[in-house]
A and B are shown apart, each in its own frame.
Chain A
Amino acid sequence: MKLRYLWQMTSMNVMSTLEYRGAFFIFMLNTVITPVISLLVWLAVSEQGVPLPYNRSQFVTYYLLLSVLSMLTGTWLATFLAEDIRRGGLSPWLLRPAPFIVHYIGNNIGEKVVKLPLLLPLVGLAALAFRRDLHLPSDPRAWALFALSAPLAAAIAFLIDVIIGSLAFWLQDVEGLVRVKVLVGSFLAGRFVPLALFPPAVMPFLEAQPFRYTLSFPLELLTGQLSAQATVRGLLWQIGYCVGLWLCYRLLWHFGLKAYQAPGS
Chain B
Amino acid sequence: MSAITVVDLAKTYRYHHKEPGFKGSLQSLLRREMLETHAVDGISFAIEAGEVVGFLGPNGAGKTTTLKLLSGLLYPSRGKASVLGHTPYRREAEYLRRIALVMGQRAMLWWDLPAMETFLLHKEIYDLPPAEFRRSVDELAQMLEVEHLLRVQVRKLSLGERMKMELLLALLHRPQILFLDEPTIGLDVVSQQRVREFLRRVNRERGTTILLTSHYMDDIQELCPRVLVIDHGQLRFDGALEALVKQAAPYKRVSAVFAQPAPRRALEAALAGIPIEEVEDSLHIRTSVPRAQVADVAARLLSLGAVADLSIEEVPVEEIVRGIFGASQRQEPAR
Footprint of B on A, CB under 8 Å?
1, 4-5, 7-9, 12, 15-16, 19, 88-89, 91-92, 94-98, 257-265
Docked Cα-Cα span, A259 to B106, in Å, equals: 20
Is B1 located at the chain interface by the 8 A CB criterion? Answer: no
Q: Which residue of B lies closest to A20 (CB)?
A: B112
B121 contacts A12, C-beta separation under 8 Å: yes
New A-B pairs, 19, CB < 8 Å, besides A1-B127, A94-B91? A4-B124, A5-B121, A5-B125, A8-B121, A8-B124, A9-B121, A16-B110, A92-B106, A95-B73, A95-B99, A96-B96, A97-B96, A97-B97, A97-B126, A258-B89, A260-B75, A261-B335, A265-B104, A265-B335
Residues of B with C-beta under 8 A to A8: 120-121, 124
Give the docked Cα–Cα distance between A94 and B71 (Å): 10
Q: Residues of B contacting A15 with CB < 8 Å?
A: 112-113, 117
Q: Complex Cα distance A88/B99, Å?
A: 19
B residues 72-88 in Cβ contact with A at 8 Å: 72-75
CB of B74 within 8 A of CB of A260, answer: yes
B74 nearest CB neighbor, chain A only: A262
CB distance A91 to B73 under 8 Å? yes
B93 within 8 A of A: yes
Q: Which of A89, A260, A261, A265 counts the most B-chain CB atoms under 10 A from its CB?
A: A265
Please give, as numbers and ranges, the residues of chain B lying within 8 Å of A5 by CB-CB distance. 121, 124-125
Do B182 and A265 touch across chains, with their CB atoms under 8 A apart?
A: yes
Interface residues of B (CB under 8 A from A): 13, 64, 68, 71-75, 89, 91, 93-97, 99-101, 103-108, 110, 112-113, 117-118, 120-121, 124-127, 181-182, 334-335
Contact residues in A for B89 (Cβ distance below 8 Å): 258
- Residues of A within 8 Å of B334, CB to CB, are 265
Q: Contacts of B121 on A, CB cut-off 8 Å?
A: 5, 8-9, 12
Docked-complex contact B106 and A95, CB < 8 angstroms: no
Contacts of B64 in A (CB 8 A): 265
Are B75 and A257 closer than 8 Å at their CB atoms? yes
CB distance from B133 to the nearest CB of A (A): 12
A16–B124 touching, CB < 8 Å: no
- Known contacts being A5-B124, A12-B117, is A265 close to B73, with CB within 8 Å? no
With A5-B125, A96-B96, A264-B105 as contacts: A12 and B110 at CB distance below 8 Å: yes
Rank and list the top 5 A-B pairs by shortest CB-CB distance, nearest first: A97-B93, A97-B96, A262-B73, A5-B124, A258-B75
A19 CB contacts on chain B under 8 angstroms? 112
B322 → A minimal CB distance (Å) = 21
Asked whether, in the complex, the Cβ of A261 is within 8 Å of the Cβ of B96, the reply is no
Alpha-carbon distance A98/B181, docked complex (angstroms): 22
CB distance from A113 to the nearest CB of B (A): 16
- Which of B13, B73, B182, B335 is close to A94, meaning CB atoms less than 8 Å apart? B73
B101 touches A12 (CB 8 A): no
10 sample A-B contacts, Cβ–Cβ < 8 Å, listed by A number: A8-B124, A95-B96, A95-B100, A97-B93, A97-B97, A98-B93, A257-B91, A259-B75, A260-B74, A265-B103
A96: chain B residues within 8 A (beta carbon) = 96, 125
Report the minimal beta-carbon distance from B241 to chain A, rounded to whole angstroms: 23
In the complex with contacts A95-B100, A261-B74, A262-B74, A12-B113 CB distance below 8 A: yes
Docked complex Cα distance between A7 and B125 (Å): 11
Separation of A94 and B69 alpha carbons in the complex (Å): 12
- Among residues of B, the one whose C-beta sits closest to the C-beta of A95 is B101
Which residues of B sit under 8 angstroms from A7, Cβ to Cβ?
Answer: 124
The listed residue (A9, A258, A262, A265) touching B105 by CB distance below 8 A is A265
Give the complex CA separation of A94 and B108 in angstroms. Answer: 11
Residues of A contacting B127 in the complex (Cβ-Cβ under 8 angstroms): 1
The listed residue (B72, B106, B108, B124) touching A265 by CB distance below 8 A is B106
Residues of A within 8 A of B93 (CB): 97-98
Most buried by A among B71, B93, B112: B112
Once the chains are docked, how many angstroms separate the CA of A48 from the CA of B125?
Answer: 60
B101 partner residues in chain A, CB cutoff 8 A = 95
A1 to B129, CA, bound (A): 11
Q: How far is the CB of A63 from chain B (nearest CB, A)?
A: 35
In the complex, residue of chain B having the shortest beta-carbon distance to the beta carbon of A17: B112
**A95 with B124: CB separation less than 8 A:** no
Residues of A within 8 A of B181 (CB): 265
User: Contacts of B13 on A, CB cut-off 8 Å?
Assistant: 261
